[in-house]
Chain A
Amino acid sequence: KAGVTQTPRYLIKTRGQQVTLSCSPISGHRSVSWYQQTPGQGLQFLFEYFSETQRNKGNFPGRFSGRQFSNSRSEMNVSTLELGDSALYLCASSPKGGSATNEKLFFGSGTQLSVL
């Protein structure tokens, strides 16, 4: 079974632009979560989707948004990019309940975003 796939692997953007990151979960997984990883703040929860519905959202500004499609694939969007948005963005999938049942998360290798 293929793992969690995130595209693109690397992205370079400039301040003020917007960006869309993509995540394909493991086949059959219904829950997708997104995390931001930075050297200073570590891993921080962005949001979680289950069956196309956002179930939870972390403490990030409204510039960060996401969605999930009927095939469980997910995208996250960051608008009006700031220098501080430079980070590794990780997507994780889980089979059923995700955070509702404390399931194991399967992480992708992430998208490294650099904002210049």
Chain B
Amino acid sequence: QQQVKQSPQSLIVQKGGISIINCAYENTAFDYFPWYQQFPGKGPALLIAIRPDVSEKKEGRFTISFNKSAKQFSLHIMDSQPGDSATYFCAASKAGGGADGLTFGKGTHLIIQP
């Protein structure tokens, strides 16, 4: 059972545009929602994370929007740059962990065209 669904699978955005990646979760016990960025040959690296007590969090060009009632959250990358080309994973977990650790979405392969 896939508890975190991520879309789209791949995304091509022009340089300077806005990249938007969406995720939906099922388990209402989740209380931590991080986004990880992975470059080829490297492990994932935390980009930004949000907890359900806020609806939006911004760090530089990266923003998470969170809709608790819809059980959805999204990543917005403003002024997208070629260096942002990578695979992005949303994830979810609940304090105390449990058997699932971090539950990841399947990933979005983002390409920023110059």
Q: B103 — which chain A residues lie within 8 A by C-beta? A: 45
Taking the nearest CB of chain B, how far is it from the CB of A109, in angstroms?
Answer: 5
**When each residue 50-69 of chain B gets 1 if its CB lies under 8 Å from chain A and 0 otherwise, what string results?**
00000000000000000000
Q: A58 — which chain B residues lie within 8 A by C-beta? A: 99-101
- Determine if B46 and A105 form an interchain contact, defined as CB atoms under 8 angstroms apart: yes
- Determine if B97 and A100 form an interchain contact, defined as CB atoms under 8 angstroms apart: yes
Asked if A70 is at the interface (CB within 8 A of a chain B CB), the reply is no
- Determine if B98 and A107 form an interchain contact, defined as CB atoms under 8 angstroms apart: no
Q: B46 — which chain A residues lie within 8 A by C-beta? A: 104-106
- Determine if A43 and B44 form an interchain contact, defined as CB atoms under 8 angstroms apart: yes
Compute how far the CA of A105 lies from the CA of B36 in the bound complex, rounded to whole angstroms: 10
Q: Give how many A-B residue pairs fall within 8 Å (CB-CB).
A: 71
Select which of A4, A56, A102 is within 8 A of B95 by beta carbon.
Answer: A102
Asked if B114 is at the interface (CB within 8 A of a chain A CB), the reply is no
- Determine if B49 and A107 form an interchain contact, defined as CB atoms under 8 angstroms apart: no
Interface size for chain A: under 10, 10 to 19, 20 to 34, or 35 or more residues? Answer: 20 to 34
- Determine if B41 and A42 form an interchain contact, defined as CB atoms under 8 angstroms apart: no
Taking the nearest CB of chain A, how far is it from the CB of B101, in angstroms?
Answer: 3
Q: B12 — which chain A residues lie within 8 A by C-beta? A: none
**When each residue 2-43 of chain B gets 1 if its CB lies under 8 Å from chain A and 0 otherwise, what string results?**
000000000000000000000000000001101010000111
- Determine if A55 and B97 form an interchain contact, defined as CB atoms under 8 angstroms apart: yes
Compute how far the CA of A55 lies from the CA of B96 in the bound complex, rounded to whole angstroms: 10
Taking the nearest CB of chain B, how far is it from the CB of A91, in angstroms?
Answer: 8
Nearest opposing residue in chain B for A99, CB measure = B97
Q: Which residues of B contact A (CB under 8 A)?
A: 31-32, 34, 36, 41-46, 49, 89, 91, 93-107
